[in-house]
Copies of this chain bind each other. A is one copy, B any other.
Amino acid sequence: MRARRATINDVADAAGLSRGTVSRVVNGEKYVSAEARTAVEAAIAQVGYVRNTAARNLVTQESRAIGLIIHEPHSLLFEDPNIGSILLGANEALSKADYQLVTLIIDSDRDSHRVADHLRGGLIDGAVIVSARASDPIAAAVADIGLPAAFVGHPDGTPDLPYAAIDNVEAARAITSRLLGTGRRRVGMIASALDRDSGQDRLAGFRAAMGERYDPRLVVEYPLYTYAAGFEGMQKLLRRDPSIDGVFAASDAVAAGAMTALQEAGRRVPEDVGIVGFDDSSWALRCRPQLSTVRQPAGLLGTTAAELVLAQLMGLPSSPRVLETVVMWRGSA
C-alpha cells in the first residue's frame, strides 16, 4: 500500500499559509509576495507535494490532453511507417501548444468500447483519429458528445468533422500517367485496403489515368498495404498476363514486395517492367532500383490534424485541409 500523497493542505500547513496562496504559487499567478512564494516552495519540497491532476481537471473542466486514436490491424502498425510519422507530427504541434498527446490503440472490440469510454469520460479535450473505417464506433462516440476532433484521411460515411488529407485520386492519376509516359503498353495495379478511402481513391485515380486502356483483368486486390500483398499480387499478375510491363502498387510496401517477385521471376526492373509505388516511405530508398513513388507528407498530416483540433478548442473555425503531394521519380520506372 502506497503512503498517502501530500495534498495542497499539507503544504499550506507546513508553510503556515492558506490553500489559496499555495494554489497561486503552484499556478504561477500574480499577487503572491516573494516571501510567501519561497515559503511555499520550501514546503512543497519538504512534504513532497505533487498536484493531483484528476482533482484539478474536475474543477477546471479540462485535461490539456489530446487523444490520438489508432485503429489498425496488427500488421499495419509494423509495416506502415506513415503511422509513426503522423504520430510524431501531431506530437510536435501539441507539444508546442503545451498539450499532452495520449495515444490510444484499438486492437479489438473490447478496446473499442473502452476507448470510447475514455473519450466520453472527460479525460481528453479533443481527438485526432487515424485511419478510421466508415463503421467506426469511435467516430460515432466523438460526434455523440461533440468532442473537438479531426481525422487524418477522410473516410466517407463519417460525421461531418474536419480532416487533413491528401488527394489520393489525383496523386494516383498523376503517377500512373507518368508511368504510361515511359511507353508501357500493358499496365496493371496491385490495389489494397479497399475498405478505406485511400485504397478506393488510389484505384479510382489509376482507372482515370488508364482511360480506354483500363483492363480489369490486370487489377488484383488485397486487404492490406503489405509487402506480402505485393509479392503475391505480382505473381498473380505475371500469371494472368506474362507480357505485363508496368505496375502501380498501392503503397511502397506493396511495391517492394512486387519488385522482389519480379526479380525472382527473372524480370529486370525497370527494363522489362516499370513499377511505381505510393507514400515515399523509407521503403522507397531501400529498393534496388529505388522506387518511383508519390511523396505523401505524413508528418505534416499529423501536425495539421492536431492544429485543426487546437483551433476548435480555441473556438476558431476549422475546415478540411488538403495537402500537396509530389511525384518522386527514381529508378524503378
Contact = CB atoms under 8 A, between A and B. Distances in A.
Chain A interface: which size bin? 35 or more
Interface in A60-84: 63, 65, 74, 77-79, 81, 84
Contact of A101 (B105, B145, B146): B105
A123 B74 contact: no
Task: Count identical subunits in the complex.
Answer: 2
A19 interface: no
Contacts of A212: none
A52 interface: yes
Interface stretch (A39-47, A87-95, A171-179, A237-245): A87-95
Interface in A103-126: 103-105, 107-108, 110-111, 114-115, 117-118, 120-123
A296 to B, nearest CB: 14
B286 A256 contact: yes
A104 B107 contact: no
A103 B100 contact: no
A245 to B, nearest CB: 23
Given A63-B54, A77-B88, A100-B104, A260 B282 contact: no
A122 B4 CA distance: 12
A58 B50 contact: no
A114 B315 CA distance: 24
Nearest to A299: B74
A88 B101 contact: no
A193 B84 CA distance: 20
Contacts of A5: 122, 145
A2 interface: yes
12 contacts: A51-B120, A52-B122, A53-B118, A53-B122, A77-B87, A78-B282, A79-B81, A87-B105, A100-B114, A100-B115, A103-B105, A123-B123
Q: Which 10 A-B pairs have the closest CB atoms?
A: A53-B121, A103-B103, A77-B84, A54-B57, A78-B81, A50-B120, A78-B84, A54-B58, A54-B54, A52-B122
